Amino acid sequence: MKKYKAFAKVNIFLKITGKRDNYHEIVSRFVKLNNLYDELEFVKKEQTDAKVNEFKIIGDFSCSTEQNTIYKAYFALKEVTESQKLEELMQTYAIKVSKNIPAFAGLGGGSSDAATFLKMCNGVLDLGLSLNELASIGLRVGADVPFFIYGYESANVSGIGEVVEEFSEEPLEIETYTPKVEISTPKVYTIYRESFYNPIDGFQVEEFKKRSSLEVLNSMSASEANDLFEPALQEYPQLKHYYKQGYFFSGSGSSFFRVIDTSKKREI
């Protein structure tokens, strides 16, 4: 069957705007990485498998099936649609994932896999769900999933991830590198809340949303662009050894990235 690409992303900027219950509200520019992606496909199960009717994921994951975002997406989709066809599909087929996006890296690999799986099921089974409906289901799995559902090249993401607004700008050439440091996103947010909490106001939010990604990166440091960089450095001081001048921090890390401005043929 067909292979589907689950693209990574970087956060050009990530600013905290407030709190909602146990969540932090953000405004962030998400940019899709067209040169880094996982590949997902349905593969027929072997009928000799004793657990043939169980949900099966094939791939190199550092978590259990129950913790996997694809598994969570399956149950969220099943709960909303109550689709018998969906159950039959996953009894007959396993979902195979060829992993290229590093885990615990701030590149959205798990969220992208979940979003891609939801879109695969919607298409293969003709469930007829709109992108908005899929995004709503995806939000149950993770805050970054809606961005990947919509598939924009660049977008302003706000709230707790549920507000995704396409941002029109020239495509950016981005390269990343990921140190072997496994970051806990909840831990970084906890450090931010305890020691760095300083949300921006509505006027600043609108300013960020209007500025192009290149303008932001040309005028800000890694710490200024991403409110989670300093908390991540405090919790994971080894990150300091990997930081290079001119690079920026994606999400809660641990990936760093830089943008190459191809129109001017110079690195930022």
Residue 186 CB contacts under 8 Å (≥ 6 apart), including other chains:
none
Q: What pLDDT is recorded for position 54?
A: 85
Q: What pLDDT is recorded for position 52?
A: 61
For 207-235, write each residue's pLDDT tens digit.
999 999 999 999 999 999 999 999 999 99
CA distance 116 to 77: 13
Same fold, 4-166 and 173-267: no
Would you write out the chain's pLDDT as a tens digit for each of its 268 residues? 799 999 999 999 999 999 988 889 999 999 999 999 999 999 999 876 546 678 999 998 878 888 899 999 999 999 999 999 999 999 999 999 999 999 889 999 999 999 999 999 999 999 999 999 999 999 999 999 999 999 999 999 999 999 999 999 998 999 999 999 999 999 999 999 999 999 999 999 999 999 999 999 999 999 999 999 999 999 999 999 999 999 999 999 899 999 886 555 445 5
Q: What pLDDT is recorded for position 262?
A: 56
Residue among 9, 15, 45, 56 flagged as catalytic: 9
Q: What pLDDT is recorded for position 60?
A: 87
Q: What pLDDT is recorded for position 263?
A: 56
Please check whether residue 254 is in contact with residue 181, taking contact to mean a CB–CB distance below 8 angstroms.
Answer: yes
CA distance 9 to 3: 19
What is the sign of the dihedral through the CA atoms of 232, 32, 119 and 98? negative
Residue 87 CB contacts under 8 Å (≥ 6 apart), including other chains:
78
Give me the residue spans of the domains in the chain: 4-166, 173-267
Residue entry with tokens 């994606």 = 250
Domain covering 4-166 assigned CATH 3.30.230.10 in the classification: yes
- The DSSP-derived string for 92-111 is HEEEEEE--SPSSSSS-HHH
Residue 85 CB contacts under 8 Å (≥ 6 apart), including other chains:
125, 127
CA distance 123 to 103: 27
Residue 9 annotated as catalytic: yes
Residue 2 annotated as catalytic: no
Helix residue spans in the chain (DSSP H)? 69-81, 84-92, 109-124, 131-139, 145-150, 185-191, 202-210, 213-219, 222-225, 229-235
Question: 165 has which bridge partners?
Answer: 156
CA distance 211 to 182: 31
Residue among 38, 113, 144, 227 flagged as catalytic: 144
Q: What is the CATH number of domain 173-267?
A: 3.30.70.890
Residue type (1 letter), 99: K
Question: 19 has which bridge partners?
Answer: 24
Residue whose C-alpha is closest to residue 39's, from 91, 85, 81, 1? 1
Q: What pLDDT is recorded for position 260?
A: 80
